[in-house]
Structure 1
Amino acid sequence: MMIEQAACRPYWSVIRDVILTPGRMSHTQLTQPAHDDPRIATRYALDGQSFPPDHPSGAGGLYTTAGDLVSFAHALMRHRLLDAAHTAQVTTGKVPTGFGDRYAYGCSDLTVAGHRIIWHNGGAPGASAWLQIYPDDGYTLAALSNVANAGPGGGGVQPIAQKVQQLITGRQESRW
């Protein structure tokens, strides 16, 4: 509602024009997909319970692809979304989380064995997502799963994120 009032136009048009188009995210949508859309995976809990697509919202309502998440990361880090000063402001941690990283504006900022990681995760019942940007190393991880995160060694994308971090930094943080 705040975005719509500040921009004097619908939320979706702001997201499309300010993020999706310059971010080259052509496979991301905010509209609720049809239940029979073959591009949308059925979401599952670890016990096998399935979940239908949710009605979209600003928090967790985007339907996207791993490729579009990588496109977003590249657009952010290559200053197609914000200039260099604002990109640094948005991605630089400000508030300690108590787990070794610092929360920035919508992402966490972590350094492991000298490797900076800008990251964010998310999920919904039966779904999980993880985005890690290693700006100094030139790596980006975008992982999506139709299984909820269940902690280390469980379902979802968390074990993938942990393994990638270990491969890049040589260390495994217990944080995740």
Structure 2
Amino acid sequence: MTRPMARRTVLGALGAASLAGTALVAAPGAANAARPKDLRPGGAYDRFVAGRAAQDMFSGTVLIAHHGQPVLVRAYGMANKDQSIPNRPDTVFWLASITKTFTALAIAQLVEQGKMAFHDTLGTHLDGFATEVAGTVTVHQLLTHTSGVGRPAVGGGTPPGLDWNSFDEVMDGTLALIRQAPLQFTPGTRYAYSNDGFFVLGAIVAKVTGQSYFDYIRQHVFSPAGMAHTDFYGRPQVLANNAIARPYSTQRDGTRGDFATSPYAPFSTGPAGGAYSTLSDLLAFARALTAGKLLNPAFVDLITSGKHALPPSEPPAQVEFYGYGYLNTILNNRRIVGHSGSGPGAANRLDIYPDLNWASIVLSNYDTTINPIIQLERDLITR
């Protein structure tokens, strides 16, 4: 059992390893560096994931990398069951909330350039919000899910926006609904995960830059990171592209249905979760981020460091914080930075280990939990 850390020790660990410049890029001799056999092909991790797939508890791709070089790459299950198309290492998956790392990075780029500030209020950049929202909610609070902005969780019934058929309609329609919603709590007083908050951040990116959020991310995140197979896709594009894995969501009777063909599937989940990518592209993103190619290293450390303490969750850790669009976890006194992504027919995780030079990516087109896979990966890397 891991011994709890004192507050001073926790704060020290949070700042001990700088994410930028952590040598996720290949280092001399790294390809021949000693790597635990349990993380290599045929090892405990490889066998465990294969076992989950054999039980139809996992469908997707996994990658383990050291110093930016893949150590293990695997693909399991079907990308399209109707057409018998298997998942492959280069299959494109819906990232869901991993998209938030790109949105937060875009905000930080604009702050670095002096075009905005983290303490700016929402009303500094966007109009149409109630005075108590526009004048009090800050960019910092939106990034850390402490703003109170967003619609409360809804129960049954048809969700709004199913008739939207373009990225403009998704952005405009969602922002109109958010503008009508009262604050759920006084900004800064508590944490409540908010997809709507990241839609607002995407709208701020568009307002400050004068171009669409989607074009900005393509030009300033995906392109410089070398993410050639990453993009935002609408539902019609997903249905027409056999390179994209169909998301198979769990039904009430336990069967799995293609969520992309569901009448409840939205056109896109936008800045909060609408990006699609591959294993190799996410590894390229991790390399570019840690090498300071997308953002000054000081700002990389800023957005990936912990801002708000989170309650215990799965998989377990000593402590977990939310930063600016990045989760910051400490396990076995080692820091892990990244994000999860989940939704109907999606379960994903990007983990970067700053002080160990490892990275792990799991992309799944099932919504069956991948926590057992993540827990084993983390235990093997940090032990």
Residue 125 of structure 2 corresponds to none
Query: What is the 5 A alignment of 1:1-176?
Result: 1-32=203-234, 33-46=237-250, 47=254, 48-52=256-260, 54-56=266-268, 57-99=270-312, 100-148=319-367, 155-170=368-383
**TM-score calculated relative to the size of structure 2:** 0.41
Q: Paired residue for 1:151? A: none
Alpha-carbon RMSD across the aligned residues, in angstroms, is: 1.5
Q: State the secondary structure of the residue aligned to 2:207.
A: helix
Are residues 96 and 34 of structure 1, via their aligned partners in 2, closer, same or farther at CA, if it must alter by over 3 Å? closer
Amino acid at match of 1:14: Y
State the identity %: 32
Does structure 1 conserve the Cα–Cα contact (< 8 Å) formed by 2:230 and 2:275?
A: yes
Q: For residues 215 and 374 of structure 2, what CA distance do their matches in structure 1 show? A: 32
Give unmatched runs, 5+ long, in structure 2: 1-202, 313-318
**3-state DSSP of counterpart to 1:82:** coil
Q: Distance in 2 between matches of 1:132 and 1:79?
A: 17
Which is worse superposed, 37-46 or 120-129?
A: 37-46
Larger radius of gyration: 2
**Larger helix proportion, structure 1 or 2?**
2
Distance in 2 between the 1:158 and 1:23 partners? 28
4+ residue stretches of structure 1 with deviation over 6 A? none
Larger relative contact order (Cα-Cα within 8 Å, sequence gap ≥ 6): 2
- Is the alpha carbon distance of 1:104 and 1:15 closer, same or farther for their aligned partners in structure 2, counting shifts above 3 Å? same
The question of whether the paired residues in 2 share the 8 Å contact of 1:43 and 1:52 is answered with yes
Shift in CA distance, 169/2, structure 1 to aligned 2, threshold 3 Å: same
Task: Give, in angstroms, the shift of residue 35 of structure 1.
Answer: 0.9
Shift of the 34–88 alpha-carbon distance from structure 1 to 2, 3 Å rule, reads closer
2:64 counterpart residue number: none
CA offset digits 1:118-169 (Å, max 9, x no partner): 0210122111110000011111111100001xxxxxx243322111001112
| Contact kept? 1:127, 1:156, Cα under 8 Å | no
Unaligned runs of 5+ in 1: 149-154, 171-176
TM-score, structure 1 as length reference:
0.87
The aligned length equals: 164
Matched with 1:174 is none
